[in-house]
Chains A and B, each alone.
Chain A
Amino acid sequence: MVSFLGRTGRFAIEQVGGMGRMFSFLMSALALAFRRPAKIYLIIHHIKTIGVESLSVVALSGFFTGMVMGFQGYYSLRKFNAESFLGSAAALGLLRELGPVLSAFMVTGRTGSAMAAELGTMRATEQIDALDSMAINPVKYLVSPRIIASLIAMPLLTAIFDVIGIFGSYIVGVNLLGVSSGSFFAGMESSIVFHDVYSGFIKSLSFGLIITWICCYKGFHAPPMATGVSQATTESVVLSFVFILVWDYFLTSIML
């Protein structure tokens, strides 16, 4: 009994300690992001990696998500003779929920995992120690620019996902299922308000921060061996997905 309590206590202390370290890592990366000199060239480089290089996969997944929403929306709305609201239903779903969440998943899978693997390898090959020994703060050099880049790139990727998704649902709804083009856009125009766009923007911004924070933290603190890097990569992706969904629930409940 005593040993069970001891183990439980140790586990709880480790978990709380781990959360504290993660939070302090984020605070230090954010504080260093605003300390001069600004690493503009690194921010641009990471915008390219996170944003430009994720564009094709985000666009493709947005297009197919929109098409699926076209089919599913049409099927549901037809039961209430409300097919003309397809544009409105698809746009609301994409702007408020699916756009930010699915584009965040795509970026986690494509870029977040790569971030964790890259930083984990740098840890294993002493490149992070080398930065430290050259009196260059590795968090400022490696993490802060990635955080700023993801805050810029994520909302843009989400916007592209939303637009292409709406286009996909338009193709299915109007061209395949015969919903009128006018009612598709009219329904959308009458039901979408700025708050819908704004809530999607806030979500994408916070998801960008979550992805970079978790993936950089896991990579940065990966055990210095091959299995350590693979473990950090897996953990960073799984934890990012979970954090995105949990945070999405809280944001939705606040911003509904």
Chain B
Amino acid sequence: MIKVANLHKSFRSQKVLKGVNLEFASGKITTIVGTSGCGKTVLLKHLNALYLPDSGEIFIDGVDITQLTQKDLYEIRSKFGVLFQGAALLDSMTVFDNVAFPLREKTRTSESDIKKKVDARIEQVGLGEMGGKFPAELSGGMKKRAGLARALIMDPQIVLFDEPTTGLDPILATSIHQLISRTQKEFGFTGIVVSHTIPQVFDISDYVAMLANGVIENIAPPQAFCASENPAVQQFIHGKTEGPIQVL
């Protein structure tokens, strides 16, 4: 369903992605792990063409999205839901309006149907009575939940999660992980999670891919990933400063 082939990306003189090759299994959760600043978010933002690569291809359902016009790109993007690192809720709107926003802007759904659907999604992410609150009135965990409700409102085939638990305490992080796992089972989307919260994130992942030095070092189910003899994987899992991953 999603295939990345020989992806390269630089920002000025800094080479971030140096030939990433990766396939994401449909209907499963794949987690991309790696050190801070290694390019995980850059890779994630290429998947729905928020960034365009210097070279390489990204295929979504067989279509190379790097060659599309903006109009076609928007059609591809409607297959995606995205939970941003800081949730990226629109400040000027309440939680309800944020979740309803894609429906109001992209569909001709009646207000009564929007209300039913939005209320259901807000309930599913555990924010039952918070629909009338503004993002500034929410805690970090609540914002992530609201962001997830918005990401799921258009019933996307693919959901991207950019560091969904960064900045949260361990209990809240577990609850967000459980929420991702539960909603994935319920809606059956392909989940792509960027995280460095190991080993907790392994519990919700079907596959774990490791990005280091601009390439994918290893991709495997969590148990096989941990057992991998790849020195970069072992260095990352055990948090060693010495090894093939250069620590900045």
Contacts and interface: CB of A to CB of B under 8 A. Distances in A.
B86 A134 contact: no
Contacts of B18: none
Interface string B102-124: 10011000000000000000000
B34 to A, nearest CB: 20
A132 B88 contact: no
Contacts, number: 48
Interface stretch (B72-80, B167-175, B184-192, B236-244): B72-80
B90 interface: yes
Contact of B106 (A121, A127, A132, A136): A136
B88 to A, nearest CB: 4
A135 interface: yes
Given A127-B88, A127-B91, A136 B105 contact: yes
A130 B91 contact: no
B80 A133 contact: yes
Contacts of B90: 122, 127, 130
Interface string B38-80: 0000000100101000000000000000000000001101101
A135 B106 contact: yes
Contacts of B80: 133
B151 to A, nearest CB: 9
A127 B84 CA distance: 9
B85 interface: yes
A126 B85 contact: yes
Most buried by B among A122, A129, A137: A129
A132 B77 contact: yes
Nearest to B153: A134
A252 interface: no
A133 B74 contact: no
Given A125-B88, A127-B90, A127-B91, A133 B75 contact: no
Given A126-B84, A126-B86, A127-B90, A134 B50 contact: no
Given A127-B90, A127-B91, A134 B84 contact: no
B86 A135 contact: no
B102 to A, nearest CB: 5
A135 B74 contact: yes
B78 A130 contact: no
A133 B160 CA distance: 10
A129 B105 CA distance: 16
Interface string B146-164: 0000000010000010000
Contacts of B45: 129
Interface of A: 121-122, 125-127, 129-130, 132-137, 141
Given A130-B88, A134-B154, A135-B78, 20 more contacts: A122-B90, A122-B91, A125-B86, A125-B91, A126-B85, A127-B89, A129-B45, A130-B84, A130-B90, A133-B160, A134-B77, A134-B82, A134-B101, A134-B102, A134-B105, A135-B74, A135-B75, A135-B106, A136-B102, A141-B105
11 contacts: A122-B90, A126-B86, A127-B88, A127-B89, A130-B90, A133-B80, A133-B82, A134-B77, A135-B74, A137-B74, A141-B105
